[in-house]
């Protein structure tokens, strides 16, 4: 019964906060509601027994990605109420698109059939005798190791691409040399002078 209660609580909060992401006037609040939505989704994962995925969702999405969102949105100085003026004139077009999408969803839902083989393929989130961390690790690093490494390479290429795009070598710029800064000794930096009162260090 507790699990059912928790399920309704998490999914209720999830849907409500997802809705608030769309209708909140302030973009920072939108991002915060998005974070709440991630959090509730993580709760649902825990209820399913996929605790590793839940933690991953929090570490990756809430702990890192959403922080970047928040960063960007906070730095933006855009008047969103002004941007949203005349928004209602798009209502008929939006309604038509939404109706078409909803109709398609209903059509899919009506003709959906589960194959008998799919039922057999379905795996429990926590297989017998091991935690789902071990289960995921075994599958990911034994069966799909090449895919895993390829995706890593793709990310590496993206990273190098970003660096190449933004790296500019300008001539005539004074650059910071960390080794020179760290390697500085007291003798090079400080000179002790005995200054007579009222004379200063004049030439």
Partner 1 sequence: MADFITQFGIWGGLGMAVLQILGFTIVLLIALAFLLLMDRKVWAAVQMRKGPNVVGAFGLLQSFADFFKFVFKEIVIPAGVDRPLYILAPLLTLVLAFATWAVVPVAPGWVISDLNVGLLYLFAMSSLGVYGIIIGGWASNSKFPFLAALRSAAQMVSYEVSIGFVIVTVLLFAGSMNLTVIVEAQSGGFWNWNVLAGRALFEDGWPMFLVMIPMTVIFFISALAETNRPPFDLAEAESELVAGYQTEYSSTPYLLFMIGEYLNIVLMCAMTTILFFGGWNSPIELDTTAWPYLASHLWYFFWFAIKVVFFFFMFAMVKALVPRYRYDQLMRLGWKIFLPTSLAAVALVGAYIVFGAQG
125 near partner 1 (CB under 8 A): no
94 near partner 1 (CB under 8 A): no
155 near partner 1 (CB under 8 A): no
Would you tell me how many other CB atoms lie within 10 Å of the CB of residue 31?
Answer: 21
| Residues 27 and 38: beta-carbon distance below 8 Å | no
Name the residue nearer to partner 1 (CB basis): 115 or 176: 176
Structure tokens at 123: 């795996």
Helix (H/G/I), strand (E/B), else coil: 57: helix
Q: Where are the alpha helices (DSSP H) in the chain?
A: 2-23, 27-48, 51-56, 66-75, 80-83, 91-111, 116-121, 132-138, 145-166, 178-182, 186-189
58 near partner 1 (CB under 8 A): yes
Q: How many residues does the chain have?
A: 203
Q: Which stretch binds partner 1 (CB under 8 A): 10-18, 27-35, 100-108, 114-122?
A: 27-35
34 near partner 1 (CB under 8 A): no
171 near partner 1 (CB under 8 A): no
Q: Which residue among 18, 55, 125, 139 contacts partner 1 (CB under 8 A)?
A: 55
Residue 190 CB, shortest distance to partner 1, in Å, is 16
Structure tokens at 100: 């078409």
d(CA 153, CA 173): 34
d(CA 25, CA 13): 19
56 near partner 1 (CB under 8 A): yes
Q: Which stretch binds partner 1 (CB under 8 A): 13-21, 22-30, 109-117, 195-203?
A: 22-30
101 near partner 1 (CB under 8 A): no
Site residues (CB under 8 A) for partner 1? 1-2, 26, 28-29, 32, 35, 51-52, 55-56, 58-59, 62-64, 67, 70-71, 74, 131, 133, 176, 178
């Amino acid at each position: 019964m507790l699990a059912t209660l928790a399920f309704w609580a998490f999914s209720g909060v999830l849907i409500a906060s997802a809705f608030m992401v769309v209708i909140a006037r302030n973009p920072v609040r939108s991002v915060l509601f998005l974070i709440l939505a991630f959090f509730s989704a993580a709760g649902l994962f825990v209820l399913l027994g996929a605790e590793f995925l839940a933690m991953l969702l929090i570490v990756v999405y809430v702990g890192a990605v959403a922080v970047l969102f928040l960063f960007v949105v906070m730095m933006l100085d855009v008047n969103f109420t002004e941007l949203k003026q005349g928004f209602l004139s798009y209502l008929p077009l939006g309604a038509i698109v939404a109706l078409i999408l909803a109709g398609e969803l209903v059509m899919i839902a009506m003709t959906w059939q589960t194959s008998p083989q799919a039922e057999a393929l379905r795996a429990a989130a926590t297989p017998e005798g091991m935690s789902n961390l071990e289960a995921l690790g075994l599958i990911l690093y034994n069966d799909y190791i090449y895919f895993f490494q390829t995706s890593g390479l793709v990310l590496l290429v993206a990273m190098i691409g970003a660096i190449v795009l933004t790296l500019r070598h300008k001539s005539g710029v004074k650059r910071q040399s960390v080794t020179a800064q760290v390697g500085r000794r007291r003798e090079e930096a400080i000179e002790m002078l005995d200054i007579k009162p009222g004379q200063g260090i004049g030439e």
